[in-house]
Structure 1
Amino acid sequence: MKKYVVALLSAAVVGLGPTAIAQQSVPEIPFDADINFLKLPAGMNLGEASGIAVNSKGDIAVFTRSNSASGPAYGATASQILLFDKTGKFLREVGKGLYAWSYAHTVRFDKDDNLWAVDKGSDMIVRFNPQDRVTMVFGRKKEASDKAEPWERVTPPRAPVPGQFRQPTDVAWDTEGNIYISDGYINSRVAKFTRDGDWVTSMGEAGGGKLGNLNTPHTIANDSKGNIYVGDRGNRRIQVI
């Protein structure tokens, strides 16, 4: 099946002035505020939360830039997954002391309740099964002994390398289970893998203006029809695959 990359939101608002947009009714989303909903163990702090996800049972995974372990990619680790039940009761920490932890970015559950963590600092994406065992790993962080430091943005950008990520940001899946990783701050592309983790292709090129050009794809999501939506942050638009 042939795929196309097209502009989505940028085209949708063409011809709509500020008045027309303001007149569109936006439904209010009801909610209850509870600042004490998440119940952490004594002495544990939440820190800066970068991602949150909910599985089919209502369990809540919070990806925070707290410190659960030392051991640098470039300094102290700033990644920790905390799991709570649907009432906010703390259940456990997932992947404590994992090699992939460096700087938390995004956490997701797939349709099978596997937990996926995208770590911007280590350039790694990790899948945990519902029993918290690591079942798939993408990417590899730099060796700390080799004077590792964060990727530097250069012009023109370095060419992407299959299987290697440079500050990835998010993950999504199509209806066939294929895996899409937005990659990210440096490579500015989307990497596609089969459901088994085999490399398929790299989509998009660093740049602005043209369809298919990406500038810091910062988030990625899917719908029930298999479309993949890419939040093209640097170009201020959403593109769909």
Structure 2
Amino acid sequence: MRRTNPLSSPRSLRFLALLGLALGVSLRAQPSAPDIAFDSNADFLKLPDTIHLGEAAGVATNSKGHVFVYTRTGPANATVGASRTFYKAGSRLLEFDQTGKFVREIGAGVYGLNFAQALRIDPQDNIWAVDQGSSNVIKFDPEGRIQLVLSRKPEAIGVRPAAPRGGPPPEGRGAEGRAAPPPEGRGGSEARGGAPPGAGGGGGRGIPGPPGSGIPGDSFVRTADVAWDRAGNIYVADGVAVGGGNARVAKFDKDGHFIKSWGARGSEPGQFNSLHGIALDAQGNVYVADAGNKRIQVFDGDGTFKTAIANVGTPYAVCITPGAHQYLYTSNSNDPETLDNGEIYKLELDGRIVGKFGRAGKLPKEFGMVNSIDCRNENELYIGELTNWRVQKVTLRAAR
């Protein structure tokens, strides 16, 4: 006897379509994404002999074409006190000119540059460093002077007792007993589902509330990214961790005064599980890379859910081009333990796929866990990779 799919009946199809409209998710069939031809320069940046690029967590360009990289490298250290561990350094903010020549280091020794997460340049060429380790968002002016700091670096980090002489090192420390940050996306109390260091109940640092909703203000937990609207209002994606810590978007005015926040941990519309990127279009719509739920959620500037784009894998990096016709770029970043996927998608703002390019790998024109995309120029991109410790300059070829 021939079996029929119960979901293929006209009534079921109508139900699914209505469900998709209710959730703001398009159920329209997507054709397979065409490949976009491209060229790549994997050795564009020229570093001094005394500086080495580590994980390229953030890359951005300014109006002059200079390239800025926020990288996980440098002599990290931790001082253990009676009840606290004080972390310092571990990431560096570097500037290169438009030819890739090294220009300078910005913020050497700054208290909040611990574990780089993202980097953005605003329309006034101010430099915004987002740090997952300190949970800070730090604004530098074009000359490299600090203008604004959001959030406070958590210092009340529990110190585990030392292992017995000759025994294994304490959990979370290396073979020599040095504190080590958890690998991207896993490890640490947050990745295991517990609260982050210094955090209390489900609402963030000790304040009850919906899990992941945080507390009003700039008490961030493992900050993910930053963006702005035309009025200069600041939007912060707060919460890289999977299953713990904050899971929200926080909005501030141009001077850093808190306006509102939205989101909580979960998989429903308006909820998040591991935010990784944020970008705004010219109309002020907010696009959030909700990596743990494998989607990009779209909101208006007040946090009202509009739609979700759920056909581009696991989005880590998101970037929206300037100009009259804007495009959205997003990375389907590979897991750190595999070389699966890894491609970058080019989309219309409504979620329709224009094409894709690249794949996971170690060679030029391949990508290793993309964490950042700069798309100031629609067809000339800078791609920051974690596992390959590099920035690739990518040029998309015109369609024939």
Distance in 2 separating the partners of 1:118 and 1:234: 20
Q: Mapping of 1:55-70 within 5 angstroms?
A: 55-67=62-74, 70=77
* 1:47 corresponding residue in structure 2: 54
Distance in 2 separating the partners of 1:29 and 1:204: 38
**What amino acid sits opposite 2:260 in the alignment?**
T
Q: Mapping of 1:76-87 within 5 angstroms?
A: 77-87=89-99
**3-state secondary structure, aligned to 1:36:** coil
Q: Deviations over 1:180-221 (max 9, x none)?
A: 00011220000100011100111111111x211111111101
1:157 aligns with 2:202: yes
The TM-score with structure 2 as length reference comes to 0.52
**What amino acid sits opposite 2:248 in the alignment?**
R
2:55 and 2:73 in contact (8 A); partners too: yes
Distance in 1 separating the partners of 2:71 and 2:24: 32
Distance in 1 separating the partners of 2:189 and 2:111: 19
**What amino acid sits opposite 1:50 in the alignment?**
A
Q: Which runs of no fewer than 5 residues in structure 1 stay unpaired?
A: 1-5
* 1:214 corresponding residue in structure 2: 272
Larger Rg: 2
Task: Compute the displacement of 1:75 (Å).
Answer: 5.3
How many corresponding residue pairs? 227
* 2:31 corresponding residue in structure 1: 21
1:10 and 1:238 in contact (8 A); partners too: no
**3-state secondary structure, aligned to 1:182:** strand
Which of 9, 25, 32 pairs up with 1:11? 25
Q: Mapping of 1:83-232 within 5 angstroms?
A: 83-143=95-155, 147=159, 152=190, 153-154=193-194, 157-159=202-204, 160-161=214-215, 162-184=217-239, 185=241, 186-208=245-267, 210-232=268-290
Q: Deviations over 1:45-77 (max 9, x none)?
A: 111111100111000001100015645666563
Task: Compute the displacement of 1:234 (Å).
Answer: 1.1
* 1:3 corresponding residue in structure 2: none
The TM-score with structure 1 as length reference comes to 0.85
Distance in 2 separating the partners of 1:217 and 1:85: 31
Q: Which runs of no fewer than 5 residues in structure 2 stay unpaired?
A: 1-19, 80-84, 161-178, 180-187, 196-200, 205-213, 300-400
- Structure 1 vs Structure 2: percent identity of aligned residues? 41
2:76 and 2:114 in contact (8 A); partners too: no
